[in-house]
Structure 1
Amino acid sequence: MTDTIDARLAELGITLPTPAAPVASYKPAVLHNGILTISGQLPFIDGELATGKLGADVSLEQGQAAARACGMMILAQAKAALGSLDRVTQVVKLGGFVASVPDFHDQPKVVNGASDLMEEAFGELGRHARSAVGVPVLPLNAAVEVDAILAVKD
């Protein structure tokens, strides 16, 4: 099988990170009846967790980069679970959680960092339904967390 998604990522200069191990009692990915559910992924940039709150000590651009890093980890987890990203037939949904101060209202713009990556990787199959929610705190003080639901073929 030709890994066309891997080739597209290489053309874009994207190298996927090593899939992160769970930080608690859960599996990073569960495949059931053609649906791959990816647990919430945290933003590791150059090996460091992106922490803080949007609207306080994290800028919109830093938040978008953190969401993109979450998307990279989603792709890494999917590849580890499936063997090939070419098995993905649709990115169904992303759930974005943005640690932010009460008067920060650009959560959708932050989560675009992950959404745009899915479209870059999968083209039209990367367009998806989505949530972008502001929360007061995330695990390990992460700035952003993103989870995913993917439809896959056998």
Structure 2
Amino acid sequence: MPGTIEARLAELGVTLPDAPAPAANYVPFVQVGDMVYVSGQVCSGPDGLIIGKLGADMEVEAAAAAAKSCAIALLAQCKAACGGDLDRLKRVVKLTGFVNSTGDFGDQPKVVNGASDFLVEALGDAGRHARSAVSAASLPFGVAVEIEAIFQIS
């Protein structure tokens, strides 16, 4: 039976996928006390990874949607860290967003807003967080966005 957070996600038309497996030699999350540190999640959609470079071949709106997909994967990892009970999530503490972009592109914050806006819409005040949004010359597999997160859980 889904909990309160998953019911809210369902209202938004979002079903959490299984937590993605790591793509290299790392763990998907580490819990220290009541904090969960989730490794960077790359953007993906129904057709696979979302590839692109802002300032070259991708628009901000498409990249913001890609960032939202990262946030959904982050919640899936948090659910796994919580033993399947996402209602143990107390708050999103921090996001660090990496945007695959050209040297002259400066709208990284608008891109990462796709994740931030979604988390606030889904979690209310518990979704408000500190954040960094930075440019990257390239990202793994050529993806447009990668985001890591810190969550507080009960």
Do Structure 1 and Structure 2 share a fold, with TM-score over 0.5?
Answer: yes
Equivalence for 1:126: 127
RMSD after superposition: 1.2
Where 1:116 maps in the other structure, the secondary structure is: helix
1:2 Cα deviation from its structure 2 partner: 6.6
CA displacement 1:73-115 (0-9 Å, x = unmatched): 0011111121211111110000000000111100000000110
Aligned CA distance change for structure 1 residues 134 and 86 (closer, same or farther; 3 Å): same
Aligned equivalents of 1:131, 1:115: Cα separation in 2: 11
Q: Which runs of 5+ in 2 are unaligned?
A: none
Equivalence for 2:148: 147
CA displacement 1:22-49 (0-9 Å, x = unmatched): 0111111111110001100001111410
Aligned equivalents of 1:18, 1:3: Cα separation in 2: 16
Aligned equivalents of 1:17, 1:66: Cα separation in 2: 15
Is 1:22 matched up with 2:22? yes
Give the alignment's TM-score, normalised by structure 1. Answer: 0.96
Q: Which amino acid aligns with 2:91?
A: Q
Q: Which runs of 5+ in 1 are unaligned?
A: none
Aligned CA distance change for structure 1 residues 10 and 106 (closer, same or farther; 3 Å): same
Q: Which amino acid aligns with 2:27?
A: K
Is 1:36 matched up with 2:36? yes
Give the alignment's TM-score, normalised by structure 2. Answer: 0.96
Q: Which amino acid aligns with 1:25?
A: N
Equivalence for 1:99: 100
Equivalence for 2:70: 70
Where 1:69 maps in the other structure, the secondary structure is: helix
1:67 Cα deviation from its structure 2 partner: 0.3
Aligned CA distance change for structure 1 residues 146 and 34 (closer, same or farther; 3 Å): same
Aligned equivalents of 1:64, 1:17: Cα separation in 2: 19
1:52 Cα deviation from its structure 2 partner: 1.6
Aligned equivalents of 2:2, 2:77: Cα separation in 1: 19
Aligned equivalents of 2:151, 2:47: Cα separation in 1: 26
Aligned CA distance change for structure 1 residues 56 and 136 (closer, same or farther; 3 Å): same
Q: Which amino acid aligns with 2:67?
A: A
Aligned equivalents of 1:55, 1:84: Cα separation in 2: 39
Where 1:98 maps in the other structure, the secondary structure is: strand
Report percent identity of matched pairs: 54
Runs of 4+ in 1 over 2 A off after TM superposition: none
